[in-house]
A and B are shown apart, each in its own frame.
Chain A
Amino acid sequence: MMNSFDMIFHLFEGTAVHLNYVAIKLTVIFTAVFVTALTSGLGKSQGIFTSIIGPTIFFIYYRVASSTLNRELFRIDEQLWYVVPHIIFFGFSYWLVYSVLVNKRAKEIWQRIGRGFSLALVAIALDFIYLMFRASMASGGNEEVIAMTLHAPYAAVLLVVLTLVFAGLFILMKRYRSFVMAILSGLLVVLFGIERTILHGLVLVALVFIAYHIQKWVIKHGK
């Protein structure tokens, strides 16, 4: 979720969304959340800590590591103020899972809307990683081609449409909704996506289906 927010933010902000940096960001975020939860459990103070430490450590990486993109052509989020939106996105994602999705006292309707929104974010992140990976394979690893694969309007429309579709299905359907969600999202990218290929649609069907069941497992065990 955090990575999805991050990629959408960078697309709108005009900074490069780059496969290698996304992979490293994902590694840092996953390590921060996983090891903190493993050693200290889940909670408000853990959420605040991981929300601050993850983006700060990644900012240090940005400043210290040598550039892999041509920074004269592409802007990278290496200014200090970029840490603040990252902390907000991280904190919001943690809050959504901890206070809404796995909280037994949260209202049913907000849990369903929250599930729809979080599943849409996860689907977008996986879709973007797939698209960048495809661009990387097609261009022989050309960093600048990969960085230009995604567009801000595509990200915004996909986020709104998938959130509405998923939240609506979480509210209206009880059975077979994972199949319906997966097929509908696959159909959407075949008709309106960047590649508009059957392969892209099939990959998204599989990714949404897997993401749905991982989310279901996390919520079941988190409660």
Chain B
Amino acid sequence: MESRMKYLIAAIVLAIPGTIYTFVSPKKIILWGIAILPRHNDRVLVGILCLLLACIFIFRYFKKN
């Protein structure tokens, strides 16, 4: 169980920046000072990759060995 727990933690940790960079408007991201990349599309790409990894880790967490 413990070895699977790390996947759930990783999923939650990745889902937060993933959701912010994908769904929050570029103006708010710049206002909050978390614009790690200058182009909006690049930030969205980082966001969707984080979301993708989060989904994969959730799948791994629920998948029986």
A32-B44 in contact given A39-B57, A64-B22 (Cβ < 8 Å):
no
**Of B7, B40, B52, B55, which is within 8 A of A65 by CB?**
B40
Cβ-based interface call for B53 (8 A): yes
User: Which of A27, A45, A49, A64 touches B23 (beta carbons < 8 Å)?
Assistant: A64
Q: Counting CB contacts under 8 A, is A68 at the interface?
A: yes
Q: Is A15 an interface residue (CB 8 A)?
A: no
A206 at the binding interface (Cβ < 8 Å): no
Check B52–A32 contact: CB distance below 8 A: yes
| Interface residue tally for chain A (C-beta within 8 Å) | 21
Chain B residue total in the interface (Cβ 8 A): 19
**B41, B45, B48: most-surrounded residue (chain A CB, <10 A):** B48
Q: Is A148 an interface residue (CB 8 A)?
A: no
- B63 partner, pick from A32, A35, A40, A60, beta carbons under 8 A: A40
B49 partner, pick from A27, A36, A68, beta carbons under 8 A:
A27
A66 touches B56 (CB 8 A): no
For B47, list chain A residues within 8 Å (CB).
64
- Can you list 16 A-B contacts (CB < 8 A)? A24-B45, A28-B48, A28-B49, A31-B49, A32-B56, A35-B52, A35-B56, A36-B56, A36-B59, A39-B60, A53-B52, A57-B48, A61-B48, A64-B23, A64-B47, A66-B41
Q: A-side interface residues toward B, CB under 8 Å? A: 24, 27-28, 31-32, 35-36, 39-40, 45, 49, 53-54, 57-58, 60-61, 64-66, 68
